[in-house]
Amino acid sequence: IGGGFPEMVMQELHANSSLRGEIKAFIEAGGPVYAECGGLMYLSRTLTWNGVRCEMVGAIPGDAVMHKKPQGRGYVKLQETGRSPWRQAEAGDNRIIAAHEFHYSAIENLPANTEYAYAVRRGAGIDGLHDGFIYKNLLANYTHMRDVGDNHWTERFLSHIKRCREQQQNRN
């Protein structure tokens, strides 16, 4: 689920409860999902902007709140924690990833035991220390990844989708 500006259409997103329910059910069933920035906000429990609060997907047990000033802006450096659902051990768990972020929202009220795919070495991420919210096969971050250098994330995510599909076929 890509980035964008969900706050601009938050009432329409809220009104489409059937889609929100289908996305949440897919995530709960272990479906592979990757979300960046606006996608992270859409997957949160609620989105609040200009005093209006709307329900979102609810797969992320936190609330996206818009602010007047950027909460994260510029280049970031992330260090993998080894917890990503689509990590590759051969790539090394301590790899540093260069990327960028630009968001006016912050995710609030996340549980203390939240798992993250990345430690923030430079930037803001989700809470100033972490980015890459993990739940089942969901990975959602504020950081916008680039598929360059040793961070070929699209290849890794596609391999993860294939593994998830194979596991589902083996269960059936």
Active site residues: 37
3-class secondary structure, 132? strand
Q: Which of 172, 62, 162 is nearest to 116 (CA)?
A: 62
- CA-based nearest residue to 20, from 54, 57, 53: 57
Q: Are 32 and 85 in contact (CB under 8 A)?
A: yes
- 107: exposed, middle or buried (Cβ count in 10 Å: 0-12, 13-18, 19+): buried
